[in-house]
Structure 1
Amino acid sequence: MTKTQKAEIIEVLSTEFKDAQSVIFCDYKGLSVPELESLRIAARAKEAKVQVVKNTLATIALKNAQLSGVELKDTNILVWGADSVATSKVVSDFAKKNDKFIIKSAYVDREVSDAARVEAFAKLPGREELLGMLAATWMAPLTNLGFGLNALKEKKEQEAA
């Protein structure tokens, strides 16, 4: 890999990491190419990105994105995205299916985190689920009003008959 290629990778990753709310570092040693491809497909569905990057290039890109505090060692695959919950769910679900895939550390909401915090974020409801809960909460008074008016109407009809 030439210096210009390395510089391009660092520049692209620096930009990506600045925009990302979470960057998760995982060990992928022993996984097959089809297994890694299934991770990429799952991540793409949640608008997250997955890439194997040399530790030195990743460290420089993280530093450029003002993210520090994590030391990269051994083999690492990086998963990042704009939605911390969705990105955590992708990684957590994949780790449950593949025992060779291990969550090492992460930046969740741009703070240094461990695997336990990533798992905790994965258990939170996603954006769509939260919007559904909010809509149901807003609709509950109207629904109850409708049921009440219908019951009143039926009661008046029974009294008239």
Structure 2
Amino acid sequence: MANQQIIEFKQEEVKKIAEKMSSAKSVVVAEYRGLTVEKTEQLRRQLREEGCEMMVIKNNISRRAAESVGYNGLSPDFKGPNGVVFAFEDSVSAAKVLHNFAKKNPKLLVKSGVVDGDFYEPAQIKEIAALPNKDTLLAMLASQLYGPLRELSVGLFMLTEEESEETSEESN
């Protein structure tokens, strides 16, 4: 009877983690072996500030949850002491925080991740961490779109000014 309860409990845990994985914009697996409790808490705090959550989950449960949502690429990385980081607000925020934290704390090792449904290796996660966040990208796009529109409006204004000067000269 007790074994059945344990199995049901583990199945429920797999289901909860799978729901988190599917609702997150990105999921990154990182090994935290060698980090002190203080450093781990500091990392968790930085992640929370960016709308992320770090969970320490049994590897078998994490593996099953990842496979149930189609993130099979993560499965080989569920070995050793891992933290699974879920980003709910911005796709690149988890990668950014982990990468910046790992610069100062080399014991943190980013293993792999899924960003917007695509699997990425550690080197690719590092590249993603270098990307600006969504708001910055939108601002850059807006400025690029604004430049030609501004030039067009200035040009049209100058044309209307020339036409108004010509019509005023003709009426004199």
TM-score, normalised to structure 2, is 0.75
Partner of 2:45: 41
Superposition RMSD in Å = 2.6
**2 CA distance for matches of 1:98 and 1:53?**
22
User: Which segments of 5 or more consecutive residues in structure 2 lack a partner in the other structure?
Assistant: 162-172
2:144 matched to which residue of 1? Answer: 137
Secondary structure of residue in 2 paired with 1:84: coil
Runs of 4+ off more than 6 Å: none
Pick the aligned partner of 1:73 from 70, 76, 79: 79
Q: Does the Cα contact within 8 Å between 1:14 and 1:65 map onto a contact in 2?
A: yes
**Hey, what's the Cα distance between the residues in 1 that align with 2:20 and 2:71?**
12
Q: Residue 156 of structure 1 aligns with which residue? A: none
- State the structure with more CA Rg: 2
Written as runs of structure 1 = structure 2, the 5 A alignment for 1:10-159 is 10-69=14-73, 70-71=75-76, 72-82=78-88, 83-141=90-148, 143-144=150-151
Q: Report the TM-score when normalising by structure 1.
A: 0.79
Contact 1:84–1:121 under 8 Å retained in 2: no
- Find the residue that maps to 1:62 and give its secondary structure: helix
Alignment partners' CA distance in 1, 2:150 and 2:114: 42
| Structure 1 residue runs without a partner (length 5+) | 154-161
